[in-house]
Structure 1
């Protein structure tokens, strides 16, 4: 049974991906700092689908994250799929925020992805897939309410395309999806404080994102960046 790791796997997009990978026959390992939600998701997958494990970790602690990825591989088997889902955005936007606060967003959205790539590729003894969850916020040149979030998500796009040739030499594919609004606990909280006219009529589901993750795994292409705005069909960013 192949081993898959999902950061931010306790809820939202990460949970949806973990469930789908378990349904596809993967042994899934969830990494998240939310202990209660992580244990609940683990137990649900174990009971209803197949083997799942949960590991409590603040992924912004890069040393701890790296050691954990190695430990999971050592104890549960070489990694076949690694999904960088963990991410988020603060309430106060750059530049009207202290350095230690905006830098936390960069740590969470970019540095953890870089650490996940670096650590997981070492544990993919037979090749594998690394999949990053970016955001539509990182696409294009239009203004955005949270510049620090948009910038960190844009960096993931360029990171994916710039490192793909290096990773494929190790039989590792790397691809990224940039979704618009997805129905998650975090986005529901955000939408509660928005004008209803600003909210798209259609909201993507975690299952939609999980479907694209499987598309990456089943495809032989690498370096893809798929943009999926909630009211449009997904397309590859050139």
Structure 2
């Protein structure tokens, strides 16, 4: 799929990785609807963890002419810095709602629009979803693992609906906060840390998945900035 003239919706795009993805799609000629909880220039303010927020995001895409591309990028840990099992059930369930339920629901809502002439979805997972070591936010890790399986479960949508669904699994993304955290580590610990993955590189991989009509139900690993992206499935 060529993105020139297409309408794309990117969630969690006011800053961070979502901003890089949105800019890359714009440079490819797409009209990009950016959605985030935080207001900003050109941002559709909506909480995609809620049904009302998802409806707002879809309405913005419809006003732009209908949806061709969906990038489910919004995500995060439980609010307040407290994670499962210390977090209240409502808090950790909200994280799962944002990280897994929202991408599923948005994909379902987008299906009839994406199918008007073919379309594509890219889900943004995380290394937390493929690792098997202890992790400080079990709810986030479980949701991101679920997002990978959700993607592979839709491998036949290309034939059924004309919609391709793929997934990117980034490692530690080289945003400012990651660089600051890395710089604050003791030298020995810093030497064991994975190489940060440039957000621009991840955004380019998203673009490749959108453009390549042969890819459906695929999962691309980008766990280390020194390694080439590779297909996990």
Quote the residue 1:74 is aligned against: 62
Deviation at 1:62, TM superposition (A): 2.0
Q: Does 1:23 align with 2:23?
A: no
Residue segments in structure 1 that go unaligned for 5+ positions in a row: 43-53
For the 8 Å contact 1:2–1:27, the answer to whether it is kept is: yes
* Alpha-carbon distance between aligned partners in 2 of 1:173 and 1:166, rounded to the nearest angstrom: 6
Residue segments in structure 2 that go unaligned for 5+ positions in a row: none
Q: Does 1:227 align with 2:218?
A: no
For the 8 Å contact 1:66–1:115, the answer to whether it is kept is: no
Root-mean-square deviation over aligned CA pairs: 2.0
**Residues 94 and 131 (structure 1 numbering): CA distance in 2 closer, same or farther, change over 3 Å?**
same
**Residues 221 and 72 (structure 1 numbering): CA distance in 2 closer, same or farther, change over 3 Å?**
same
Determine which of 83, 101, 105 is the counterpart of 1:111: 101
Provide TM-score, normalisation by structure 1: 0.85
Deviation at 1:192, TM superposition (A): 7.2
Provide TM-score, normalisation by structure 2: 0.87
Quote the residue 1:48 is aligned against: none
For the 8 Å contact 2:100–2:143, the answer to whether it is kept is: yes
More divergent stretch after superposition (24-33 vs 99-108): 99-108
Deviation at 1:198, TM superposition (A): 3.9
SS at match of 2:9: strand
**Residues 86 and 195 (structure 1 numbering): CA distance in 2 closer, same or farther, change over 3 Å?**
farther
More divergent stretch after superposition (198-207 vs 113-122): 198-207
For the 8 Å contact 2:9–2:61, the answer to whether it is kept is: no
